[in-house]
Amino acid sequence: MLPRRAVVLLIGNLGAGKTTFAKGIISGLGAAQPDDVSSPTFTLIHEYASPERHVVYHIDLYRLDHASQVATLGLDELFDREAVVLIEWGERFPELLPANLIRIDLDPDATDPQFRTIRITGLPNSAQ
């Protein structure tokens, strides 16, 4: 249901399942197998592409503390590409994000941490 060009925020506490959810999106788009997707915590950005050239950027901003650090990554250039841009911890830098984005909130269940409540907002009408 994702358009070929989208910015998606993956929001949740540590251990909420953001990277696991990203693996599912990347795999679902045919850009990589789930076992080939890893957290970009230390490299900050991973790029995946399907044979049909569906490009996905997986970004993790957890280790960055200031908007000036994030600005050096060139996110504006990625936002302008025909690609799905998945961002973990992006809500920490709202001033650097485009207005039109998709937000996925992952909240572990208080009684059973294997379950999550997932809220998706901002899907374009054509994708709903």
Q: Domain residues of the chain, as ranges?
A: 6-95
pTM of the predicted structure, to 2 decimals: 0.90
CA–CA separation, 121 vs 61, rounded Å?
21
- Please tell me which residue, 98 or 50, carries the higher pLDDT value: 98
Q: What is the DSSP letter of 114?
A: T
User: Does the pLDDT value for residue 32 go beyond 90?
Assistant: no
User: Does the pLDDT value for residue 127 go beyond 60?
Assistant: no
Q: What is the CB neighbour count within 10 angstroms for residue 120?
A: 13
User: Does the pLDDT value for residue 125 go beyond 70?
Assistant: no
DSSP string, 50-72: -TT--EEEEEE-TT--SHHHHHT
pLDDT tens-digit series, residues 52-99: 778 999 999 999 999 999 999 999 999 999 999 999 999 999 999 999
pLDDT tens-digit series, residues 13-29: 998 999 999 999 999 99
What's the confidence (pLDDT) of residue 128?
44
What's the confidence (pLDDT) of residue 123?
82
Topology given in CATH for the domain delimited by 6-95:
Rossmann fold (3.40.50)
